[in-house]
Structure 1
C-alpha cells in the first residue's frame, strides 16, 4: 500500500510491527523480506516518487576539509534513494576487509565475511547480477578481480509495484521522521513531518534507521540531542569514523597484449592487492581500474616518457614493432583509514525547513591514504614489468608529491561509517546485529554501519547486511 502523506496513512489504521525510516536499497530490502514473512511494516520515505528540488534541498550542508561534492548532490531524496543515480558497480567486500589490520588502528569488523555469505546469492538476485568469477593472481602482490556492472537497479522501478501491492507494507511518501524519542533503553516514538507540516508523534514496537550513509548519523545525532542521550545512550562514536573511497587517475600504462587481462564489455579491467602486499607495504586496500585507450594514445604516452623514463620509452618504442596495441588510463580507488576526526556534525546555525540542523561533514585524507595510492601504483607497475605485461607511468601529481587534483572524480559517492559496527561502545554505535548499543528496539541499516570500507563499492555488501538484519528481525519480532 502506498500513502501520499502521513495523514492518509493514519486514517487507514495500519498497525505495523516495524517502522523503517528510508526507502533506499537497505530499507526496501528489509521491508520486502519482513513482508514476505507476514510481518507488517511501515516505510517512511521523506521524498516522493520523483526528484523534487524542494525536497532535495533538505540535504544541503557544509563540507570542512578536503574538496568534496555538494551534499545535496551526492545523494538523492526520493523513493529508491541513491539507487536512482547509482552506476551499478558491484562487488562484495573481500574476506580480508573484515579482519583487523594491525598497522591501522580501529580496523576490523565484529563479524567475518562468512556472516554475509548466506545472503550473497539473494543479494545477486536483488541487484540483477550474474555470478562472480573468482579472483586470479597476476603476481604474489596483485590479483585480477571482477567488478560487475548490474543494470543499475533502481529500487523504485524494480520494487515499487511490489511494495504498492503488498498488504503487509505501508509505504508513506513525503513523510520525514525529523527525530526519534527514547528513554535510554528503547525508542518510544518518532516525530513526523509530512506534506510540509508537523504531524505529531508516531509509535511502533521496532525501528530501523535506513536513511543513508550521511543521514543516519544526522538523524541519530539530532534525536539524541533532543532526547538528552535517550536514543544513543553511548554516543562517543556517533557520527565518527566516516569514510569514502577517494578516486583519482594515478597514472597510465602501455599494454602490449591487452588480451592478457580479462576486460569487461567496455574494455576495463580491475586489480587489487594481496593481503601479503598490504601487510608488507603497511597500506590499505585499493582497486585499480584499467581503462583501455585506442592505439593513437600510445604514441603520445611514449613521447611523454622519453624524458621522465627513457628506459620505459625505449621498451615501448620497440614493442610498437611487435604490434603494440593500446595504452591505458589507471584510476585508483582506495580504502580510507577509520579516523574519529572524519565525522558528521550538526550545524549550529543552519537548519532545514523542518527545523533539523543541517550536516557539517568533516573529512580529510591522511598520510596513510597518500601512501596507499602511491604504493598501489608501485605494486601494479612492478607486477606488469616483472611479468612483461606492460609498463606504468605515474601521474605528475603523484610522482612529484603535489596536491590531489581538484578537477578529478574526488570520490565514489560512497558514504560509509558514522554508525559503525563493533563490540566496544566507545568506538562503535551498533553491535554485530546492527542494533544500537543499549537500545532494545533500534536498528540501523546501510553502509553507515561499516567499520572499515575495503576497496569495493558498498552496495553489494550493504544489501547483504540488510538481508541478514531482516532475518534477525524476523526472529525477534515474530
Structure 2
C-alpha cells in the first residue's frame, strides 16, 4: 500500500471507509487523485477476524457509547453502524435494491418529506454499473424503474417458499432477490454456501462489501487506507477552506493535510464531526432529519421443518406497497421481504415478546419450524429527529453523540398497516402461531443535500454550504430513504460524485450557489 506523510498535502482526505468513502476513493484513484482514507475501525481479515458465531461478531459493529432519546428511541450499534474497513456493509444482509424514481420527489408527489436536488435519472447509470461490479443477483424487478440484474436469482429455501405461497394467496406479487451475493464464482470469490451468517461478516467473501470489492482496487491505484484512525476535528484555514483532518492513532494526535476533505462517517458520526468542528451549520441543519425505517417482523410457526437460516437473509421480496395509496390513509409505503434471525437473535425476540421458562424452551426447540416476514416502512424526515452533542465525552475527548427520535402519526399508521399485511401473508400460508417483533433498521440523514443552507447541509454536488472543498458522501446526505435498503444508493451517490469531480463538472474550490 502506498503511504503519505501527514504533512503531504494530498488531493483528498476521506473520513470513513464504508459504502460512500470506499467507492469515492476507488473512482478518483483511477483518475490519478492522491487520496488518504482515515477509518476509525480495523482493517478486517475475513479468514481470522470473522467467525460463524453470532456472539463472536459484536466487534464488527460500532459499539462506542451514544445517548438515545425521544419518544421512540432507536437501538444503535449492531442494527445500524459498522466499525472497520468496509463499514456497515460488512454486516448488512446483502440486499441491494434501487430507490424508486418517486423517492427523489416525495414532497412534490405526496406532500411529505423532501425533494432531492437530483433525480433518479442522475443515478441510474451508476446503479447499473455497481450492480455489475458487486455483482447483484435476482429476478427481473417490476417495481419502480423496472429492470433486470446481471446475475440470475439464487435458489430459495423452504421458509421463503411458504411465505411466497401466502403472498400469492393474498394477491401479493413477489420476486427473488436482489442480493449482492455471488451466484456462481465471480473473479476470486466463490459461490455463496448459504451458511446464514451474512450479518456477521461473510467469511467466504461471497457477499459483497467494499472490503472485498472497491477497497482492493483503490489500493491498487495508490490509495492509502489508515485503519484505527479516529477523526476528531476538521482543520479550517483563515480563508474559510478546510485544510485537513485531525485524527488520533495509537493514542497520538496527528493531522493530515489535504486540498479537499470528504466526510463519510455515516448518519451519526458525520454530523458529530461537523458539529464538533463548528463547520457547516449556519442554517442549523447539521444533525437534523435523521431517519430510520420501520423494520417490523412477524414470525409464523409451521408443522414442517423450514430452516429459515439456509440462504441469503432476504430471499423473496415485494415492493407492491412501496408508493402512496390514498386508500391506506397515510403517505408513502413499505416493502416486504423474508428475513432469517439466527438463534441468539431469535431468542431475544422471543424474550421481548414475554416468553420465559418452558415457553422459551419450546420456542427455541421449534426454531427450525419458523418463517419470518420482514418489512421496511418508510418513515418521514422530521427536523426534531436529530443528532446533537452531549455533555459527556468519550476516550478521544469528543462529545458523545446524542440521537433523539420520535415517530409522527404517518409513521405509526405506516407501521401498523405493514404489520397487518405481514400477518395476513403468514396466516394465508398456514402458520399455526404468530410472533410480532417491533424494530428499526437503516439509519440515514443528518447532513442532507438540498438547494440552500436553510434546508440542507450540502448542495447537489455534496459540497458543504460555505466550504466548497469540504464534501459529505455517505448515508447522511439522503433527504428521504424510501422503503429500500440504502447501501446501493449510497454507493451510487459516491460513484456519481467521483465522476463529477474527476471530469471537473464540480469544482471543490469554487463556492456553491443556492438554487
TM-score, L = length of structure 1: 0.74
State yes or no: 1:248 paired with 2:296: yes
Taking the TM superposition and a 5 Å limit, the aligned residue runs for 1:331-350 are 331-348=374-391, 350=392
> For residue 227 of structure 2, what is the aligned residue in structure 1?
173
**What SS does structure 2 have at the residue aligned with 1:121?**
helix
State yes or no: 1:90 paired with 2:96: yes
For the 8 Å contact 1:60–1:358, the answer to whether it is kept is yes
Deviation at 1:329, TM superposition (A): 4.8
> For residue 393 of structure 2, what is the aligned residue in structure 1?
351
For the 8 Å contact 2:99–2:484, the answer to whether it is kept is yes
> For residue 44 of structure 1, what is the aligned residue in structure 2?
38
State yes or no: 1:77 paired with 2:77: no
1: CA distance between counterparts of 2:326 and 2:175? 16
State yes or no: 1:289 paired with 2:284: no
2: CA distance between counterparts of 1:49 and 1:264? 25
1: CA distance between counterparts of 2:439 and 2:114? 23
For the 8 Å contact 2:300–2:434, the answer to whether it is kept is no
**What SS does structure 1 have at the residue aligned with 2:411?**
helix
**What SS does structure 2 have at the residue aligned with 1:216?**
helix
* 1:113-147 residue CA offsets vs partner (Å, 9 max, x unmatched): 101012112211332213662316999x9664664
State yes or no: 1:62 paired with 2:64: no
1: CA distance between counterparts of 2:178 and 2:66? 32
State yes or no: 1:368 paired with 2:423: no
Q: CA 1:267 to 1:253, structure 2 compared with 1: closer, same or farther past 3 Å?
A: farther
* 1:434-472 residue CA offsets vs partner (Å, 9 max, x unmatched): 111122201111111110110000001110000001112
Deviation at 1:409, TM superposition (A): 5.7
For the 8 Å contact 1:248–1:410, the answer to whether it is kept is yes
* 1:157-216 residue CA offsets vs partner (Å, 9 max, x unmatched): 34444343333x1222222221113358421332222211112x3321111111122111
Structure 1 gaps of 5+ residues are: 4-8, 225-230, 255-262, 293-325, 398-404
1: CA distance between counterparts of 2:120 and 2:476? 17
**What SS does structure 1 have at the residue aligned with 2:464?**
coil
* 1:248-283 residue CA offsets vs partner (Å, 9 max, x unmatched): 1358799xxxxxxxx999863323326452587332
State yes or no: 1:446 paired with 2:448: no
> For residue 114 of structure 2, what is the aligned residue in structure 1?
107
1: CA distance between counterparts of 2:336 and 2:261? 39
For the 8 Å contact 2:244–2:261, the answer to whether it is kept is no
Structure 1 range deviating more: 146-155 or 270-279: 270-279
Q: CA 1:55 to 1:144, structure 2 compared with 1: closer, same or farther past 3 Å?
A: closer
Structure 1 range deviating more: 458-467 or 62-71: 62-71
> For residue 27 of structure 1, what is the aligned residue in structure 2?
21
Q: CA 1:424 to 1:145, structure 2 compared with 1: closer, same or farther past 3 Å?
A: farther
> For residue 317 of structure 1, what is the aligned residue in structure 2?
none
> For residue 150 of structure 1, what is the aligned residue in structure 2?
180
Q: Alignment length, in residue pairs?
A: 408
Q: CA 1:72 to 1:378, structure 2 compared with 1: closer, same or farther past 3 Å?
A: closer
Q: CA 1:357 to 1:126, structure 2 compared with 1: closer, same or farther past 3 Å?
A: farther
* 1:84-133 residue CA offsets vs partner (Å, 9 max, x unmatched): 21111110111111112465544221211101012112211332213662
> For residue 325 of structure 2, what is the aligned residue in structure 1?
277
For the 8 Å contact 1:106–1:338, the answer to whether it is kept is yes
Q: CA 1:68 to 1:432, structure 2 compared with 1: closer, same or farther past 3 Å?
A: same
> For residue 192 of structure 2, what is the aligned residue in structure 1?
none
State yes or no: 1:202 paired with 2:256: yes
* 1:14-36 residue CA offsets vs partner (Å, 9 max, x unmatched): 54211111111211111111011
2: CA distance between counterparts of 1:396 and 1:367? 26
Deviation at 1:341, TM superposition (A): 0.8
Alignment RMSD, CA only? 3.8
Q: Whose Rg is larger?
A: 1
Deviation at 1:369, TM superposition (A): 1.1
1: CA distance between counterparts of 2:370 and 2:397? 53
For the 8 Å contact 2:317–2:335, the answer to whether it is kept is no
> For residue 266 of structure 2, what is the aligned residue in structure 1?
212
State yes or no: 1:416 paired with 2:423: no
> For residue 436 of structure 1, what is the aligned residue in structure 2?
464
2: CA distance between counterparts of 1:24 and 1:56? 13
**What SS does structure 2 have at the residue aligned with 1:415?**
strand
- Higher normalized strand content (fraction of residues): 1
> For residue 461 of structure 1, what is the aligned residue in structure 2?
489
For the 8 Å contact 1:19–1:206, the answer to whether it is kept is yes
Structure 2 gaps of 5+ residues are: 50-56, 145-167, 182-206, 303-310, 341-368, 509-515
Identify which of 284, 299, 311 aligns with 1:236. Answer: 284
